[in-house]
Every structure is written in structure tokens, then in C-alpha cells.
Amino acid sequence: MKKSEVLTLLQSIQYPGFSRDIVSFGMVKNVNVGKDNVKIELAIKTQNDEKKKTVVDEIENKLSPYFKQVDIKIIADGSHQGPSAQSSQSPVQQKFNLDHIKNVIAVASGKGGVGKSTVAANIALALKEKKYTVGLLDLDIYGPSLPIILGFNESPKMTQDRKIVPFDQYGLKVMSF
């Protein structure tokens, strides 16, 4: 069996509680295929041992019909800090006064690719046209799409005290991550 075939099998394993598979989530970091064995390195960021065990068990069930030995190693991912790792910075303690904000409209869906950012941009522009003060925040886990929708492609600017300055596009204050 080839590495690509192993990856195809792993794509059928969904991460517990999500509709995405472990390959598209980027959890499969390395696959080494031998004659009778396969070694897989996973980067699972959760501290939930039950979810880790579920993923490992599903991998073993998928691959054991093809290999005598299935070795799965959970590795530390550089983008994750476990509970023992201490940050040198203290968390932000500042409280923000949001009393001046009268309404918040959230656009959400449990499915990707359904046009949430497009709908949010259209609502924001329609409200701006009616003379409302509007801000738009895009926190899409699959990547920012508001820069494409609203037609800006520069990087955000930062103030000297390291705060991000929102883009001003069509009279909207826009943040997109």
C-alpha cells in the first residue's frame, strides 16, 4: 500500500464532534509505509484523552486489515502550548466598555462554503447605506474571505502599542482574520 492510499483511508476518519477529517485538519504530520507496517505521526491539540483515543482507535481499525503493525505516535505541535507551558505574557486584564454599541448581528452556520461572509458584507453595506455606523469582523477558521469580497489585499497596520488598525473600506471598519 502506498502513502497516498493510507492518506485516502485516513481522510474517511472525522475528528470527534466535527464534520472534517483528520487529514484536512492537518493532524496527520507524517506517514511512513513499510512492507508490513505503517507509522503515523499525529498532532492532536486537544487535552481530551478520550478524543485522542477515539482517533487512534479509528486509525487502527481502518489500517489493521492492511498492515500487521500500526504504530501511531502523538507528537507535540509547535503551535500548541500544553497546560505545563507558561506564557511570558500575562493575559489582557483590560475591560472594554461596549455600552455605545446598540446592536450586534452575527452570521453563522455549521457548514462551510454557504456564503456567511458574503451575507455579512451585504448586511453591513446595506446598513451603512442607511447611515448606520457599522463594523465588520470576520473570524472564519477556514481563512479570511472579506478581503476578497470587499476588494482589499494589503496587510493590516499596527499602532505603536501593537494594536491592529481596522481597514476602512466603503465606509466600513473591517477586521478579517
- Chain-wide mean pLDDT for the chain? 84
Task: Indicate if the pLDDT at residue 70 is higher than 90.
Answer: yes
Instruction: Tell me, yes or no, whether 102 lies in a domain.
Output: no
Instruction: Tell me, yes or no, whether 44 lies in a domain.
Output: yes
Instruction: Tell me, yes or no, whether 85 lies in a domain.
Output: no
Give the pTM: 0.46
**pLDDT band at 105, cuts 50/70/90?**
very high
Instruction: Tell me, yes or no, whether 95 lies in a domain.
Output: no
- 59 with 122, same domain? no
Average pLDDT over residues 91-114: 78
Task: Indicate if the pLDDT at residue 95 is higher than 70.
Answer: no
A 10 A CB-CB count for 150 gives 19
Instruction: Tell me, yes or no, whether 91 lies in a domain.
Output: no
CATH of the domain at 47: 3.30.300.130
Task: Indicate if the pLDDT at residue 54 is higher than 70.
Answer: yes
Q: Give the separation between CA 156 and CA 158, rounded to whole angstroms.
A: 7
Task: Indicate if the pLDDT at residue 122 is higher than 90.
Answer: yes
Domain that includes residue 24, residue range: 3-74
- Sheet containing strand 172-176, strands side by side: 135-138, 172-176, 167-169
- Higher pLDDT among residues 39 and 84, named by residue: 39
Q: Please, what is the Cα angle at 40 between 37 and 41, to 5 degrees? A: 150
Alpha-carbon torsion, ordered 80, 85, 86, 88, to 10 deg:
-60
Instruction: Give residue 155's pLDDT.
Output: 75
- 64 with 123, same domain? no
Average pLDDT over residues 44-49: 82
Task: Indicate if the pLDDT at residue 113 is higher than 60.
Answer: yes
How many separate domains does the chain show?
A: 2
Q: Are 156 and 164 in contact (CB under 8 A)?
A: yes
Residue that terminates a domain, selected from 74, 107, 132: 74
Residue that terminates a domain, selected from 44, 74, 104: 74
